[in-house]
Structure formats: structure tokens, C-alpha cells
Amino acid sequence: MSCQSSLSNQLRNCWKKRAGFFKVLVFFYYLESSEGWKWEENSIVHREKLIRLQEHGKSHPEEIKEVNGVRFCCSQVFFIGKGSDGTRVYVGLGKDGYERAVKRLPRDFCVCFAEQEKKVLNEANTTQSNNVVRYWFLDDESDKDWLFLILDLCEETLKEFVDHSSLDDLITNAPDIIQKVLKGLADLHREPNPVLHRDLKPSNILRDVHGNWLLADFGISRILTAGSSTHQSEQRGTDDWRAVESSHPLNDTIDDGKVRYKKESDIQVAGIVAFYIVTKGEHPFGEKPDRLRNLLHGNPIGLSMLKDSVLKDLLSWMLSHDPKDRPSAKEALKHPYFQPAKQKFNMLCKVGNQPEIKTHDIKSDVVRKFNSDPKNWTSLVRSDVLKYLSTDPLKGKTFHYKSSWTDCLRLIRNINEHWHDRPRPRPEIFYTVGDPQEYFLNLFPNLPVEVHKIIRSCDWKERVELKEYFI
């Protein structure tokens, strides 16, 4: 009995030591968790939440979850956004000190969406883009109820930005935002395996701490196979943020109620987003319940409220009813709305240098289109200035420019080519004109977009000397 008692005591002491050892392990784990919080501070909007996350990790380390080196807590205190099907987003902090967003998705509904988002965000079209949110990790094993998708932390959604900004600020910032959205789409749509976003909307466009705009939320995106232009499926996405071909079956009988998604579908929705920005939340196809009918009939009634004719032309192009009439993302980025003055002026000069313009070729459809505008451009130029501009002092010649717009383009080209060759001393009128680029763009502010509209609709845009301005 004494031997058995001694053995029992030894075993008991051994288990006590082991239990103590495990307690020490747990203690050091929580100590490391609570004290080893490196932080590279960047975020302004979420700074307070990140501070509280660190404090919470020190005071309640057992409530901190770690996924692939990223610590977070799924508490309302650290909540920053939500999506469909119970998806919620929280701030996270990596052990490397970098801020992350942790997207928690319910396993019952979102396994396919999460896997698809991971797949798309690992495609070269997205990883090489500066305008797509950065993916880090998908955890589909650590929790029986939830999946965790780790992404770069951003400051706010476009919806939030529009809500708190003034209309004037939105109009000022619109070119940059719309351009970044289109750059993101241009990257997604790049061959040979284009990515269709299929759920573009203000809440899926994010601003990072550096002011860059990023496309996000790729759970229902699709990758087209090489040579394919269309994905057919049941209707997906969000009401009010679908293209016309994605809103109504092409043929109820043949296609079994399926709708079409194309690269051009993303472009039309980007046009809707752009209109939303410049009008502080309005929709180009009007108010409900007429919105869907206007969309299906190709009637963007909201465009009439836009005062900027250049912007109006861009959005009208992007919102075209027929997908074939819409620009690609790369083509839209060439629109004068985004171009600096130098680029717009150079385009006018290059068009003015085309042989059909030089010879006033009346057989040319392009020449006829230019000259169909009855407005007399010469009436906008001071008579003494026009006389001076029409004279070539080096050759001793006077050109007789007519009221046609092709003559206007020819004048612009000639002045740009020979302006600084004019002999000294120069008369006062030379300095009245000053910089030809500034002078002509101020005199004819709508000319670049009118020229662009005509050239982009014909094969001139393929010409070597013109294609950089159109494709």
C-alpha cells in the first residue's frame, strides 16, 4: 500500500507540474499577444479603433483572434462595414505592424463567394493593378461558422465620401475618382482572360489613406476564357447598379431567363457611378419606379441636368444603350474630360494636319461631319487678330480661312507649327494672342470634345498619328 500511495503521489505531482507548464505556456502566449503589438500608423479614419484594438489586446488577450499573423476582434467596437448575406468587416493589425481589413463571411452562405474573391484577387489582372484592393489571405479552416478574408485596410467607401462631401468638392474630385475607377476596369478587362466585376457600385469602391481609389468586392466576379466576350447567368449584382443587358433576359425562351454580362456592362455601370458622383447621389435613369423602364429604353433622363458639356458627352458615351456603342475602359480614359490642355491641343493640331482637312475633301464623311455645324467660328475671333493670324510674314502670304470648322482646325495647326518663327520685332497683337494653346482652348472650349466625338466614331482613330488620342 505504501508503494502504491507513493506512486500515486508521484503521478499527482507530475500532472501538477505539467498543468503548471501548460499554464506557463498560456501565460507567455497571452503575454506575447498583449505586448508584441507593432503598429505602422497610417489610417486616419480608423486610428481610434486601432488604438482601442491594441488596448483590448492587452486587457483581454483571450478575445483576440489571429489569422495568418493578423490580429482582430469581431466586436462592434471594431466594426467598420458590412455587405450582403451577413458579411461584416473589422479592423485588424498584422504582426508586421501593417493595418488590415478583416472581412468575416458566414460559412453557410459565402464559401463560393469567398473562394471566387480569392481566385479573382490572385489573377494577374488584379495583382498588377494599382486600382484594385490588395488581397492577403483567406482563412476557411479556423472557425466552423465563419470565413475570414484579409485585405488591405482602406479609409472609406465612395458612398461614404459622396455622402459627406459638398457638390462643389465632388465635381472637383470627380475626374480623379472616375479616372481611377476606369483604370481599375482597364486592368480587370485586360486580355487574354478579362475579369468582369459584375457588382460595381459606390459601396464597392474604396479610398485608401493615400487618396487612391480601389475596386473591391469580387465575390460574384467572373473570369472570361480567352476569346469569350460574354458571361450568361441568372441575374446577379445589385438593383440600380446593373447594365441594361444584365437587367433583362435577351430571350426568355432560348436563354432560360439568363442575362448577359460583358466588359461593356461594367462600363455602363461605371457611367452610372460617375453620374452619382457629380450629382451627389442621383441616378442617370431617374427616380423609382421609372428608373428601370428608362434604363431598358435607353433614356438617361438625368444627363439633361449636367452643365458640363464635356462630362455630359463622356457619360452619354458610357451609358449608351447598345453595348457596342460604349467605349472600352482604355478608350474612355482617352476622353477630353481626363486630358490635360496640352494633350487636347495636340489632338486638334494632329487632326488639322490630316490630308482631307488640308485639301477640304468634300468626299470625306469626316470633313462633312465637321462642317455640318453652321456656327461661324470666325465670328468668335477679333477681326484684327484673325487678320494677323491669317498672314505668314515669312512667306509674305495671306491665307483666306473660311467659316468651316475644318478651316478652323487648319488655322490652329498652322499657328502652332509656325507661331514662334514669326520675325522680331513682334507687334503687340502677337502678345495679345500669347500662347496659342491657351488662346485657342479658351476661344473654343468645346472644340476638343466635338472633334473627339467625330473621330472616335470612324476609322480615323486607327491612324498612326491619331490613335494615341483615342485608343
Q: Residue 321: how many CB atoms within 10 A of its CB?
A: 16
Does a structural domain hold residue 287? yes
pLDDT of residue 25: 47
Cα distance between residue 271 and residue 136, in whole Å: 30
Do 200 and 270 form a contact (C-beta atoms < 8 A)?
yes
**CATH assignment of the domain containing 347:** 1.20.1440.180
325 in a domain, yes or no?
yes
Asked if 170 and 198 sit in the same domain, the reply is: yes
Burial of 20 (0-12, 13-18, 19+ CB in 10 A): exposed
Whose cell is 492577403? That residue is: 136
- Residues 315 and 405 reside in one and the same domain: no
* Rounded (to 5) percent helix, strand, coil in the chain: 50, 15, 35
For residues 120 and 169, state if they share a domain.
Answer: no
CB 102 within 8 A of CB 149: yes
Domain boundary among 152, 183, 210: 152
| pTM for this model (two decimals) | 0.89
SS3 275: helix
Q: Which three cell numbers stand for residue 421?
A: 518663327
Taking a C-beta distance cutoff of 8 angstroms, is the pair 251, 133 a contact? no
Q: Please name which of 419, 420, 414 lies closest in space to residue 401, comparing C-alpha atoms.
A: 414
Q: What's the number of CA atoms in the CB half-sphere (13 Å) around residue 201?
A: 15
Q: What is the pLDDT of residue 253?
A: 44
Q: Are residues 109 and 192 in the same domain?
A: no
Collect all residues with Cβ–Cβ distance below 8 Å to 398 and sequence separation of at least 6: 390, 391, 392
Task: Give 66's Cβ-side CA count (13 Å radius).
Answer: 14
Say how many domains are in the chain: 3
- Of 334, 351, 371, which marks where a domain is finished? 334
Q: Are 143 and 203 contained in the same domain?
A: no
The answer to whether residue 345 sits within a structural domain is: yes
DSSP labels for 79-143?
EEEE-GGG-EEEEEEETTS-EEEEEEEEHHHHHHHHHHHHHHHTSHHHHT-SSBPPEEEEE-SS-
| Alpha carbon 345 to chain centroid, angstroms | 26
Same domain, 235 and 291: yes
Does 38 map to a domain? Answer: no
Q: Say if 394 falls within a structural domain.
A: yes
Q: Which domain holds residue 257?
A: 156-334
19 domain-assigned = no
Which of 152, 185, 205 terminates a domain? The answer is: 152
Distance CA 232, CA 8 (A): 72
53-74 in b/e form (b: 16+ CB < 10 A) is bbebbeeebeebbebeebbbbe
What is the structure's pLDDT at 109?
A: 86
pLDDT value, residue 84: 80
Residue 211 sits in a domain whose CATH number is 1.10.510.10
**Domain containing residue 147: CATH number:** 3.30.200.20
User: What is the rounded CA–CA span in Å between residue 471 and residue 455?
Assistant: 11
78 falls within a domain: yes
Query: Could you read off the pLDDT tens digit of each residue along the chain, which spans 471 residues?
Result: 455 455 455 545 654 555 555 444 444 554 455 456 889 999 999 999 999 999 999 999 999 999 999 999 999 999 999 988 889 999 999 999 999 999 999 999 899 999 999 999 999 999 999 999 999 999 999 999 999 999 999 999 999 999 999 999 999 999 999 999 999 999 999 999 999 999 999 999 999 999 999 999 999 999 998 889 999 999 999 999 999 999 987 655 445 779 999 999 999 999 999 999 999 999 999 999 999 999 999 999 999 999 999 999 999 999 999 999 999 999 999 999 999 999 999 999 999 999 999 999 999 999 999 999 989 999 999 999 999 999 988 877 899 999 999 999 999 999 999 999 999 999 999 999 999 999 999 999 999 999 999 999 999 999 999 999 999
* Residues 270 and 142 placed together within one structural domain of the fold: no
Same domain, residue pair 137 and 186? no
34 domain residue, yes or no? no
Same domain (yes/no): 189, 306: yes
Residues 252, 289, single domain; the answer is yes
Radius of gyration of the chain (CA): 31
Amino acid letter for position 152 = D
Give me the residue label for grid cell 487632326: 351
Based on the fold, state whether residues 211 and 313 are members of the same structural domain.
yes
Domain co-membership, 146 together with 167: no
- Predicted local distance difference test score (pLDDT) of residue 395: 79
